[in-house]
Amino acid sequence: MGPEVISWPVRSWSSGIIPPSMSQVAGDVTRLLLDFDQGNPRHVDALFTRVYDELRRLARARLRQERAGHTLGATALVHEAWLKLVDQERVDWTNRAQFFAVASGAMRRILIDYARRAGADKRGGGVSVVTLTEEGTAREVPLAELLDLHETLERLRALSERQARVVELRFFGGMQDADIAGVLNVSVPSVRRDWRLARAWLSQEMKA
């Protein structure tokens, strides 16, 4: 089994604890985004936890509603979580980019955990493909291929943390170059160069 996607601890509203209402969670997420923008990165853990929980809830709801072999729209779930969890009138584009950066990591973890539990590489796991976004275009990826991508991406991370992050933000969060540049604090040309290099490397490695 490959390494975990995110090292941040993930807590869930379980063990008999009454979960907060959606309005409470949305208020927390908005506040955490604003605090994060004001230079409090320690709130990333709490933000990740709330985003992860909501994305997992949305994914499970989709799986219950759809027939076996359907397509799970990963990037669409991230956008849905953004609309549900954040007060749009209180945040700006920087907050939006920060949210999508956290959500892309959470979405990747959810998909990989699901694929591992389902044994998608052997049995299909009920969901045959996952719709992800690449350069603004939806792409359907079989779960078995998603596992290969995850493992290859971890090898890339060992070589270039930033290139691996660019791939994650584009592929799992559907983020645009300008937003990625803002999150990583680099120029847009640097993001595009990282993407070209990473895509070529991943393609070669996954064909090997």
Beta-strand ranges (E) seen in the chain are 70-73, 127-134, 137-142
- pLDDT exceeds 70 at position 38: no
Phi-psi region of 73 (alpha: psi -120 to 50; beta: other; left: phi over 0): beta
DSSP, residue by residue, 35-50: HHHTT-GGGHHHHHHH
What contacts 47, CB < 8 A, 6 or more positions away?
Answer: 29, 32, 33, 36, 99, 102
The number of angstroms, rounded, from the C-alpha of 22 to the middle of its chain's C-alpha atoms is 20
Query: Mean pLDDT score of the chain, rounded to an integer?
Result: 75
Q: What is the pLDDT of residues 90-144, one digit of tens each?
A: 877 787 888 888 888 888 888 888 778 766 445 444 555 677 666 667 777 777 7
Do the bridges between strand 127-134 and strand 137-142 make them parallel or antiparallel, or are there none, so unpaired? antiparallel
Q: Is the pTM of this model over 0.75?
A: no
Contact present, 185 and 178 (Cβ < 8 Å): no
